Amino acid sequence: MDETHRKPRSDALKNRARLIEAAKEVLGRGGPEASLEAVAREAGVGIGTLYRHFPTREALFQAVYRHDVEDLLRLAEALERPGGGVAALREWMHANVALVGTKRGLLGALAVVVGDDSKAMYSELSARILRAVDGLLQRAIAEGEVRADVSAEDLTQTFYALCYARPPEPGWETQVRRLLDIFIDGLRRRH
């Protein structure tokens, strides 16, 4: 077997997963204690292990962000079942608030300078998120629950406007979810 293409060891995969979860927690909180050393400590590994998996701060941020988006995309797939289109849309939008919270914290803690690799990743993931929103929305429209003149772009633009209009202070997620509920209720088709 070619040494450069061998499958990662199970302990390396576990370390990587722990580092991603620790980064989400530590860096998501932000503040002066949000260092890469704190991430390694939280994950129970040495700083060398962190740098072997994530050679730059941007690489770590990308991994955390991609992980959270992949979770959201899996949730969208799981919600693609007949009936309850508005409820599925609401559940997915509420879950997306957590991703925005993580991203806000990471940006502040990492002071990321977005390079070309990040721009390509964000573009790809944004397109996948838009397709997931559109799938949930089209199902709600087909079920007669939501007005037909609403687009996935309308939903995502409103969602991000609501999230970023609130300062990242304690309780902002609850306020945004409440406003999302009002917005989603306003999308309902009136009979």
In a domain, 28, yes or no: yes
pLDDT of 114 reads 59
Which band of pLDDT confidence, cut at 50, 70 and 90, is reported for residue 107?
low
Number of C-beta neighbours around residue 68 at 10 A: 23
Average confidence score pLDDT of the chain: 85
pLDDT of 106 reads 67
pLDDT digits (tens, 9 = 90+) for 73-105: 999 999 987 778 899 999 999 999 988 877 776
Between 21-30, 68-77, 140-149, the lowest mean confidence (pLDDT) is in 21-30
For residue 2, pLDDT beyond 70: no
Task: Specify which residues 146 forms β-bridges with.
Answer: 188
Give yes or no: residues 98 and 180 share one domain.
Answer: yes
In a domain, 111, yes or no: yes
**Hey, what are 17's tokens?**
């997963």
The angle subtended at Cα 116 by Cα 110 and Cα 122, nearest 5°, is 70
Give yes or no: residues 88 and 50 share one domain.
Answer: no
3-state secondary structure of 188: strand
pLDDT digits (tens, 9 = 90+) for 119-151: 788 889 989 999 999 999 999 999 999 999 999
Number of independent structural domains in the chain = 2
Task: Specify which residues 188 forms β-bridges with.
Answer: 146
Give yes or no: residues 79 and 62 share one domain.
Answer: yes
The boundaries of the domain holding residue 14 are: 7-55
CATH classification of the domain holding 119 = 1.10.357.10
pLDDT of 152 reads 95
Number of C-beta neighbours around residue 122 at 10 A: 15
CATH classification of the domain holding 38 = 1.10.10
**Burial (0-12, 13-18, 19+ Cβ within 10 Å), 69:** buried
pLDDT of 16 reads 92
In a domain, 1, yes or no: no
Residue type, 109: A
Which band of pLDDT confidence, cut at 50, 70 and 90, is reported for residue 180?
very high
What percentage of the chain has pLDDT greater than the value 90?
53
Residue type, 113: V
Measured torsion, CA atoms of residues 75, 80, 83, 86, in degrees rounded to the nearest 10 = 50
Give yes or no: residues 167 and 133 share one domain.
Answer: yes
pTM for the model stands at 0.80
Give yes or no: residues 168 and 74 share one domain.
Answer: yes
Q: What are the DSSP calls for 52-106, one per residue?
A: HH-SSHHHHHHHHHHHHHHHHHHHHHHT-SSS-HHHHHHHHHHHHHHHHHHHHHH
